[in-house]
Chains A and B, each alone.
Chain A
Amino acid sequence: MNTPTYLDYGATTPIDRRVLSVMLPHLESTFGNPSSLHYWGQQAERVLDESRQTMAELMGALPSEIIFTSCGSESDNLALRGGALARREAAGCNRILISPIEHPAISNTAAQLATQNGFVIETLPVDSTGRILLEEMKIRLGADVALVSVMAANNEIGTLNPIPEIGSLCREHQIPFHSDAVQYGAHFPVDVSNLPVDMVSLGAHKFYGPKGIGALYVRSGTPLVPVQTGGSQEFGLRAATENVPLIAGMAKAFQLVQEEGSQRIQHLVPLRDKMIRDVLKNIPGSRLTGADPDSRLPNHASFVFEGLDGNLLIQVLDSEGYACSSGSACKTGDPKPSSVLTHLGYTPDWALGSLRVTLGKDTTRKAVSRFLEILPGCVQRVREADQ
């Protein structure tokens, strides 16, 4: 079988060769522990400091505001749990506001903060594309809110949120604002000097960096206690020997996003728009989920098909040589309609038939065309199987 065509860049991306070559020496020669006092430790610490410096400069932040973690999910955990607990200690506030379409790293952490720590979790109203309704949000803010967390771009439906406006509202009430930018930061610059956000989560493997490394931007003065305790690494906010090779790889990959981002977007947007246009035109009973092209991720096309088993569609596409994903697909054969689509009002008949196609910098126009040629037939066959 030929290598299948990868159309699942929202799940993860292949590592960029330039990133890999930055990492390799640190796996071998610069192996020291950055906390060690000697030569080896100092060599490693230099790489760590330089990487942190790079991240900070590219984000308009101070190096001391960059906390390296093991992934986007860990960044979310630290921001939400560490932020909520610190705020309650400092100001006694007990409410956490999140959007209803957060990644499980936020929604499940919030659920645990409710059951184990007694926080009250409220979800903010959104429109039919998952976008926060600012007027509705405004009336829910108050001095008793510990933290607001709203993702910058949704992984499943691609919708972008009005982060500057949300941040400004939080500022008015002096409420710390966290944004999960794991998907957003893979495409767009995140300049915190111009953005009213206090914490931002990033994950390197969404932008051609290695897996197992993420970062949390934490604005100076934001209340935060560590979630992982131990040594005093990462300014006392995240104990663990720093993973120097992965950190160096993340900094390089992030640098490439800033340098090549607009070029990549120029490449992606026409392909994505063709994808959306052709699917809606050629496949009966199809709908775009999430926002219109002008306010969604540049590589992201997500659909629901009426009366179709999304899990089977992914299998059929895989057997045809195309790797995509579905909000409801799961490898254990236990599909449930996605909570995001359910929240947005899709009935199971639609929500179970979801398809996410996420493109990457190496996706060719030819691959997209070929995919669009076979997709209607695959959808047809899957629908027939359910009858």
Chain B
Amino acid sequence: MNSDSAPRIVVGLSGGVDSSVAAALLKEEGWQVIGIMLRLWSEAGTLNRCCPPDAVIEARNIAQQLDIPFYVVDAKQAFYDAVVEPFIAGYASGLTPNPCLRCNRLIRWSFLRSRAKALNADKIATGHYARTKLLPNGIVQLLKNPDTEKDQSYFLHLLTQDDLLGTVFPLAELSKAEVRKLAREFSLPVADRPDSQDLCFVGQGDYRDFLRKSLPNALRPGPILNQDGEQLGEHTGLSDYTIGQRKGLGIAGPEPYYVIQKDIENNALVVGIKTELGRTKFYTHTTNWIAGSVSAEPFPAEIKIRYKSRPIPGLVTPLPDHQAGIILEEPAPDITPGQAGVFYQGQICLGGGTISLEES
């Protein structure tokens, strides 16, 4: 165990290989490491898939092996208020929210950092595949992990300068293969827990069942229209569909139909054929600039509209009220209001915000 005078750091342990290697690396660097797992809310009678009991046991075993203290911290109410409620409300207003993003900002950072502070820990650390770099002017940059398959900077675009200053990403530029190799060297389990479990709080069914229960009145059937306003069929409730979806529309035509837009005002689902799908122009709201601020000049960037999507080159124009206007060089088929648009220049993540089709 490292000495009492060593700086203290709280590591979020998930029971998986990434966070355990992160903890082991910090210990090796001489930090006084404290492992914490957050207990998150889940639907009554179900387990939250980010922290089921077997993951708690795994994380505890890892902490014992590393000889670091380990605490399970209740964050159920905070998670419900910060993530689940806005998720339901987002769908109610026709968006497709990404709960992991709010969870990262408000739970895995704000909440965990407040706990870390109480524990007299200067910093927190996570097993994310991303890097930070402190520039001479005191600004912390957020950088991609070079392994583009694993890079998780997309989920971190909404962290503040204060968050980034208070965070260590021990995996930094390591590849998954290197992390596995390190796990073997540290004699840690190499098994993966699935990454951030999208919709970890929804029970066995899928999110549609969860929304039906949570929003019994909001899911009203309505018309399926083409771009000319002709009715082609009936939908079961707008939340049941995602932009770009092809299967399960139940309408026949010479060519397959895709979901193009949700018309909240008229409770209509707008569909079209493949050539009608895709757009180049959208906005982001509640945009976070990693550097804290940005000049008002338009700038070229590569834009990711989903975690797993390929970055598309385009032009980003910062707008007042934390907004940005984006014009892509080529249309993307699945620009989805409620998801995040994240801007990069090469390895540098500049920030991002919540996708909207309109300027507010």
Q: How near does chain A come to B174, taking the closest CB pair, in angstroms?
A: 28
Residue of A nearest to B117 (CB): A385
Question: Which stretch (A48-56, A154-162, A277-285, A314-322) binds chain B?
Answer: A314-322
Q: How near does chain A come to B279, taking the closest CB pair, in angstroms?
A: 43
Q: Is B56 touching A381 in the complex (CB atoms < 8 A)?
A: no
Q: Is B34 in contact with chain A by the CB < 8 A criterion?
A: yes
Q: How near does chain A come to B67, taking the closest CB pair, in angstroms?
A: 9
Q: Is B114 in contact with chain A by the CB < 8 A criterion?
A: yes
Q: Is B297 in contact with chain A by the CB < 8 A criterion?
A: no
Q: Is A311 touching B74 in the complex (CB atoms < 8 A)?
A: yes
Q: Is A384 touching B73 in the complex (CB atoms < 8 A)?
A: no
Residues of A whose CB lies within 8 Å of any CB of B are 1-2, 309, 311-312, 315-316, 318-320, 331-335, 378, 381-382, 384-386
Query: In whole angstroms, what is the CA distance A311 to B39 when docked?
Result: 13
**A316-B119, A381-B117, A384-B117 known; A311+B73 contact, CB < 8 A:** yes
Q: Is A1 touching B118 in the complex (CB atoms < 8 A)?
A: no
Chain A residues positioned under 8 Å from B37 (CB to CB): 333
Q: Is B72 touching A331 in the complex (CB atoms < 8 A)?
A: yes
Contact partner, B39, options A309, A332, A382, A384, Cβ 8 Å: A332
Contact partner, A382, options B38, B72, B118, Cβ 8 Å: B118
Residues of B whose CB lies within 8 Å of any CB of A are 1-4, 8, 32, 34, 37-39, 53, 56, 69, 71-75, 114-115, 117-120
Chain B residues positioned under 8 Å from A334 (CB to CB): 39, 74
Q: Is A381 touching B69 in the complex (CB atoms < 8 A)?
A: no
Q: Show 25 residue pairs from A and B whose CB-CB distance is below 8 angstroms, ordered by the A residue.
A: A1-B2, A1-B4, A2-B4, A311-B73, A311-B74, A312-B115, A312-B118, A315-B73, A316-B118, A316-B120, A319-B34, A319-B120, A332-B53, A333-B37, A333-B39, A333-B71, A333-B72, A333-B74, A334-B39, A334-B74, A381-B117, A382-B118, A384-B118, A385-B114, A385-B117
Q: How near does chain B come to A341, taking the closest CB pair, in angstroms?
A: 17
Q: Is A335 touching B74 in the complex (CB atoms < 8 A)?
A: yes
Chain A residues positioned under 8 Å from B119 (CB to CB): 315-316, 319
**A319-B34, A332-B56, A333-B39 known; A385+B72 contact, CB < 8 A:** no
Residue of A nearest to B115 (CB): A385
Contact partner, B71, options A2, A315, A385, Cβ 8 Å: A315
Chain A residues positioned under 8 Å from B118 (CB to CB): 312, 316, 378, 381-382, 384-385
Q: Which of B37, B53, B71 has the most CB of A within 10 A?
A: B71
Chain A residues positioned under 8 Å from B73 (CB to CB): 311-312, 315, 333
Q: How near does chain B come to A335, taking the closest CB pair, in angstroms?
A: 5
Residue of A nearest to B70 (CB): A331
